[in-house]
């Protein structure tokens, strides 16, 4: 009889525990169903993944500045791969952190790609002033040229692209300009311009003619001058000897040469 009583007292507890588990399971199923039925926010996961996996910068604008074809605002976040364009009388400053920033002057078009480890950009036109911290290598592609900084020290430089010409001016540090098989290191205080636009040669620079060619040209010019002198002298003598016309003598006789 005691065994029967004990069994009867434990049975309600088991039933109560089983019912509690069923209620919790039902709540979890309802919550999961509601979560799956919620609409997805456009770009929510893309933006979250982008922010978590890549670097970003902050832009300040003055005037009309577009970012990926849309009007930009000061304080806007810049992501890698953005294209920034400044209109006439407009400028922008892109702050990439760690004392690194890029200043875009009026009428500049720049595609900016960067990460915490490096900066790689393409300057299509216009002027960019760069302030780069040490330890951050920078590559800037222009028309037919590539600029590579020396990451061992801070670098400050200005690069300008006009038509087919790239002009590089370095204030601090060193920047290497690469073109095909040519490499030119531009140091602090130096300015280098690619040969995209014809330039007048500096004073004292050879005009491209060899010494033999110069002597030949001078000899030819001298020969022509001598020939002209002989011709003119011959004409003068002929005019002196031949006065022309007839001579009338008082006796009435007319003589002609």
Closest CA to 114 of 77, 145, 66, 159: 77
Predicted local distance difference test score (pLDDT) of residue 126 = 97
> pLDDT confidence of 46, banded at 50, 70, 90?
very low
- For the record, the structure tokens of 152 come out as 């061992």
Q: Which of 184, 175, 122 is nearest to 153 (CA)?
A: 175
* pLDDT (0 to 100) of residue 242: 45
Average pLDDT (121-137) is: 96
| φ, ψ at 214 (rounded to 5°) | -65, -45
In this predicted structure, the answer to whether residue 136 has a pLDDT above a threshold of 90 is yes
pLDDT at 257 over 60: no
């Amino acid at each position: 009889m005691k065994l029967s009583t004990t069994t009867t007292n434990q049975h309600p507890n088991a039933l109560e525990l089983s019912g509690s588990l069923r209620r919790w399971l039902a709540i979890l199923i309802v919550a999961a169903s509601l979560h799956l039925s919620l609409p997805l926010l456009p770009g929510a996961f893309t933006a979250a993944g982008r922010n978590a996996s890549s670097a970003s910068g902050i832009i300040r604008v003055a005037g009309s500045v577009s970012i990926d074809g849309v009007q930009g605002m000061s304080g806007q976040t810049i992501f890698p791969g953005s294209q920034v364009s400044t209109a006439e009388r407009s400028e922008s400053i892109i702050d990439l952190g760690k004392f690194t920033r890029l200043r875009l002057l009026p009428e500049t078009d720049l595609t900016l790609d960067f990460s915490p480890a490096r900066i790689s950009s393409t300057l299509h036109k216009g002027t960019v002033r760069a302030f780069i911290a040490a330890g951050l290598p920078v590559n800037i592609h222009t028309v037919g040229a590539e600029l590579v900084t020396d990451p061992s020290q801070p670098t400050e430089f200005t690069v300008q692209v006009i038509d087919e010409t790239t002009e590089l001016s370095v204030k601090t540090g060193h920047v290497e300009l690469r073109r095909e098989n040519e490499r030119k290191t531009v140091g602090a205080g130096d300015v280098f311009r690619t040969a995209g636009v014809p330039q007048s040669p500096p004073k004292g620079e050879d005009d491209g003619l060899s010494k033999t060619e110069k002597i030949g040209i001078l000899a030819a010019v001298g020969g022509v001058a001598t020939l002209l002198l002989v011709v003119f002298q011959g004409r003068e003598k002929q005019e002196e000897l031949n006065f022309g016309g007839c001579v009338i003598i008082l006796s009435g006789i007319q003589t002609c040469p």
